[in-house]
Structure 1
């Protein structure tokens, strides 16, 4: 029996797609009545109600021709996407409020109008993701957001079937069939073999929609087969260490949609198909607790935000599956309005998967070395404060790549002192030839050297070699050989050692770089990146660079250097963040005064 025959047999024996997949005993009304009265959900419900009142007071914004064509004309994305995601927020909010208050006509009518409006959209894709020349043209294109939209509508149809007229019920089925199932099965899409979030989100959403709309048979089996293929590729993008190279934000996104699909599949197949039994999936699940530094600060290598919250529903679901999964503290709960893309699947599950009996706690003290990613992460408590350090090797050919081999992040007492800029504003150039001209992507915006005027280069040939990776009780250490990252003919060798000393009242970081050249370089600059304005300070007769605590004149971090070897220069720079806002960052450049054939440069980072 081949795989399609096996899946057809499983599909024909599946449990029905009904409310029992979401609530104990399928009792939807009691669930929503209970959480509407529960103090544990008070903040969640208040946020949804406030958003509902706001949205009822403003018109549904149209997706105009002008907005749709701005990406092709100007290369900008935010204008269209702001309206697109506001429309998704309207859909989600009125659906949730109808579940909470099924007898309130204003919510029900607003939901029905929103479903009709979204079904009328020319495409559910974002303009940045469509190409009229692709197989199937624009109408046959499936991107992240078209797949999510189809999943959302399919799930709303199941959950609110009794509150929707037959015309809307049938139209949802028709639109999802035309926009997702037919193009998915009729031709290949580039994301099907992607080893990152696209394969999980797109295939996971389509597979979920199929599980919700298709009763059984070969058609469902065909969708499940292609989805299985895509999920295999997604998991192939992770090493055995389970690290998400795209960062914690994309773990929430890609792995979240993987879990949403796997849950529905396991329930409908009565356990016959269970991705959660795969060992690698369990390892990936633990990445969340490894990626936080302190508070909301995260290890934000790649296109990731410097701060993150958690999807509390997803976290509680995974905690129920894996014993070593740490339930996060409630202080990190993602609020309803936190997701600027307004995704339905996590918003719903933050309510139905939440377990008030799992209050969570602060992350445990731990040191992690993730050998496939080549990330070292260390987090510890000193008194009532958390201090943390993270550094990376890897390659400059990663998903959402930044040229950042040897880069590091330093956190302490509620402040990120040495930073990763994270992701900038997504534009046509951001994912094009100009990508590494953006400070947040090129090595010029990372804490790595500038060698003879050269920044690091992208591509698989730029890869770190790990010489030592140690996590110990007193010291964590990462030593890297980074020569290949630079295309400097005279550079013979460049090694970097980062040593995190955890003893004493506060930890200390020592950075040691060693350079060997065939001929003296014209210049050699050590760059350290921070979002905190630095200043030169004379301390006990020696110059240091001081970073002040927020809102005070007191230094929180001192950077010690050899003033006979290097001369500091402190400069302010500006970049556009992910939301299109200008943000300042500072370069602490330590220029070698007389570069020779060898250079041994050391820094000590001391918390005050």
Structure 2
């Protein structure tokens, strides 16, 4: 059990950090007494048509109507899957999350498709199958994932019947079923009132009651003591708020619930940096900043727009992080557990731009928009409906995006540098205990003509090991598989005290002392890693001083494509139609090229079957020295 407890703590990233600013932006807008005065009751805030308003749904769905119906028709014969006890136990036994998550996810997706189809058609054709899906969900012991259920007192993956867990998925399903209850209750009651009664009971016991009465969920941040908060906070809070808004009719109870969500989300907004960068990377922007948007929109709706912080610069910064982190051609700056590929949800980006009045985001959303099919966010029915609502505006927006020469996030310590000649370099300072952390303080990535040259591999498929005390045994998490040195043969170490210091950024350069990111056995006094860009090239420099030289320093760079090292002092990197040269001093270094075969689909779908680690091993061991590498477009 001790090992499972350690696993639990690692999973939830409940480690102490050193940054927290009590902004309390939401609570400054309204206390609980003020909320009681301004709440919009009885779902009068809902702008979508009632189920029986056929003309309203025809107008709202427009040309999407038939596609939602066709998608629902494919589910008419769907066989509802049972998530077995051994599916949950597989997470403990093998570390595989998918055995439990795949059938559960398939069921949830089917419910969403059937609901949208019935709202689109309105003839009752999908009602019976939708009832089957609802009852199937109600019969489950828990709506949380096996990987998340271990917050329960037993710390085991098989759900306890008397401890409802609110996690990302239970919240999403709660939101989906709350909307199902809102729209379909009259239709269900015509079949049998027990359907709605059972559904309302399950939503009360699985979402509403535990949210009000259980303050132990780490993501809530209640009784805050410095623990890390991440995308879970706005994600879970937005779902909880939505359920209360759709289900709770008592003014006092609703006011208390809304205020609890405000207190909780304030903890998240206090924890993250005011510069708006998402330390979890672009892949998590839709869950961190994006779910903050969802939450703030819902809060504005339920308070008649009386609680609204969209004019706060911090919120706009959070939104524009996603456009600033886009390189082009589908590539993004991918620190932490983010993928290097990611074009983003155009509807979500547009909604954010509209909320904070950002033409940058609106234009970027239009650039990302690929109107191949109707909006579909799976079990997140709120986003599906919100996407439909802005579709016309988005389609009428002019696409535009540009890489700015210099973007600097001074608190998160992300720096983006670009040139007119098509070079883009991203570097980071930070510390090795960030959310979804990799040991990567001081690393960089380089693109040329919107093509990655020096890369961050990203992260593989999530397993039990990913969020456990074994996390840093995974190669993708280690600094020696990032664009960083091994000092005296020692890589960076995990922990909040291991960080970049003396971080500086200018319009063409970035530098940091990364000695402080290494443990004592590295015996390093100072190691200044610096980057400078000009025209078609970037210079990467290391200036160091060691307490003692005990082993050769090794400077690693990660890359992909075709590698040619036939000429001394030069490595040719050929990716697609882009060719670059990495220049180094052959008198100082011995080069080793290590192929890294990618047998994980989450990595190989981005990089192909193989990436490479270029390891430059110093031929001499010295206490002081300078290294320099130049990468330039050919």
1:495 aligns with 2:543: no
Instruction: Report the counterpart of residue 390 of structure 2 in structure 1.
Output: 353
1:171 to 198, 212, 216: 198
Q: 1:77 to 1:7 in 2, by over 3 A?
A: same
Q: What does residue 15 of structure 1 align with?
A: 40
Cα gap change, 1:407 to 1:4, in 2 (>3 Å): closer
Give the 3-state SS of the residue equivalent to 2:285 in structure 1. helix
Specify which of 517, 541, 544 is matched with residue 515 of structure 1. 544
CA apart distance, 1:340? 9.5
Q: Secondary structure at the match of 1:196?
A: coil
Aligned partners of 1:196 and 1:9: how far apart in 2?
29
SS at match of 1:454: coil
Cα 1:285–1:29 shift into 2, 3 Å: farther
Aligned pair partner of 2:410 in 371, 383, 402: 371
SS of residue in 2 equivalent to 1:275: coil
Q: Which residue of 2 aligns with 1:418?
A: 454
Render the CA deviation track for 1:452-477: whole Å, top value 9, x for unaligned. Answer: 22110011211111342102xxxx20
Q: Cα distance, 1:146 vs. partner? A: 0.9
Confirm or deny: 8 A CA contact 1:19 1:158 kept in the other structure. no
Please name the residue that 1:109 is paired with: 128
What SS does the corresponding residue of 2:625 show, helix, strand or coil? strand
1:28-73 per-position Cα deviation (integer Å, ceiling 9, x unaligned): 64454246544xx59xx75x56654544454222211221110122
Aligned to 1:128: 147
1:158 alignment partner, one of 182, 190, 193:
182
Q: 1:184 aligns with which of 211, 221, 224?
A: 211
Shift of 1:496: 0.6
CA gap 1:156/1:333 in 2 versus in 1, 3 angstroms:
farther
TM-score normalised by the chain length of structure 2: 0.85
Q: State the Cα distance separating 1:512 from its structure 2 match.
A: 0.6
Task: For 2:30 and 2:484, locate their aligned partners in 1 and report how far apart those are by CA, in whole Å.
Answer: 54
**Structure 1 residues 585 and 345: CA distance shift in structure 2, 3 A:** farther
Q: Distance in 2 between matches of 1:381 and 1:342?
A: 42
- Give the equivalent residue in structure 2 for 1:479: 511
Partner residue in 2 for 1:295: 329
Is the contact between residue 391 and residue 407 of structure 1 (CA under 8 Å) also seen in structure 2? yes
**2:51 & 2:374 partners in 1: Cα distance?**
28
Q: Does 1:317 align with 2:366?
A: no
The verdict on how the C-alpha distance between 1:498 and 1:57 changes in structure 2, with shifts beyond 3 A counting, is farther
Residue 397 of structure 1: CA displacement? Answer: 1.3
- Residue of structure 2 equivalent to 1:532: 561
Question: What is the rounded CA distance, in whole Å, between the counterparts of 1:572 and 1:338 in structure 2?
Answer: 40
* Structure 1 alignment gaps of length 5 or more: none
Question: What is the CA deviation profile of residues 415-470 of structure 1, one whole-angstrom value per residue up to 9, with x for unaligned ones?
Answer: 22211122222222211111111111111221111122211001121111134210
User: Is the contact between residue 313 and residue 353 of structure 1 (CA under 8 Å) also seen in structure 2?
Assistant: yes
Where relative contact order (Cα < 8 A, 6+ residues apart) is larger, the structure is 2
CA–CA distance in 1 between the matches of 2:28 and 2:309? Answer: 16
| More displaced stretch, 438-447 vs 51-60 | 51-60
The equivalent residue for 2:434 is 398
Judging changes above 3 Å, is the alpha-carbon distance between structure 1 residues 57 and 171 closer, same or farther for their aligned structure 2 residues?
closer
| Distance apart, 1:311 and its partner CA | 2.2
Q: Could you say if the C-alpha distance between residues 575 and 484 of structure 1 is closer, same or farther in structure 2, counting changes exceeding 3 Å?
A: farther
Q: Post-superposition shift, 1:177?
A: 0.7
8 Å contact from structure 1 (residues 395, 464) kept in 2? yes
Deviation at residue 492 of structure 1 after TM alignment: 1.9
Quick check: 2:43–2:245 contact (8 Å CA) kept in 1?
no
Per-residue deviation at 1:524?
Answer: 1.1
Specify the SS of the correspondent of 2:288.
Answer: helix
Q: Is the 8 A contact 2:459 2:602 kept in 1?
A: no
CA distance in 2, matches of 1:439, 1:343: 33
Deviations 1:4-46 (CA, angstroms, capped at 9, x unpaired): 99425534653235475334999964454246544xx59xx75
Q: Is the 1:19–1:28 Cα contact (8 Å) retained in structure 2?
A: no
Does the aligned pair in 2 maintain the 1:549–1:556 contact within 8 Å?
A: yes
Contact 2:443 2:482 in 1 (8 A): yes
For the residue of structure 2 that corresponds to 1:276, the secondary structure is coil
* Cα distance in 2, alignment partners of residues 271 and 331 from structure 1: 30
Q: Which residue of 1 aligns with 2:24?
A: none
Instruction: Name the structure 1 match of 2:621.
Output: 595
- Mapped to 1, the partners of 2:533 and 2:52 lie a distance apart of 53
TM-score by length of 1: 0.88
Displacement after TM superposition at 1:348 (Å): 3.0
SS of residue matched to 1:321: helix
**Aligned partners of 2:50 and 2:423: how far apart in 1?**
46
Mean Cα displacement is larger for which, 237-246 or 18-27? 18-27
What is the SS of the residue equivalent to 1:155?
Answer: helix
1:533, 1:586 within 8 Å by CA — same for their partners in 2? no
> 2:157 aligned with 1:118, yes or no?
no
Q: 1:379 to 1:19 in 2, by over 3 A?
A: farther
Match in the other structure for 1:97: 117
SS in 2 for 1:252: coil
What is the rounded CA distance, in whole Å, between the counterparts of 1:433 and 1:606 in structure 2?
40
For structure 2, which runs of at least 5 residues remain unmatched after alignment?
Answer: 1-26, 222-227
- Give the stretch that moved more between structures: 492-501 or 10-19: 10-19
Give secondary structure in 1 for the equivalent of 2:457.
coil
Distance in structure 2 (CA, Å) of the matches to 1:262 and 1:347: 17
Rate the CA distance shift 1:339–1:482 in 2: closer, same or farther, 3 A: farther
In structure 2, distance between residues paired with 1:593 and 1:52: 65
Contact 1:306 1:420 in 2 (8 A): yes
Deviation string for 1:107-164 (max 9, x for gaps)?
3333222122112211000011113426995633221111121112112322444544
1:556 corresponds to: 579
**1:440 corresponds to 2:505:** no
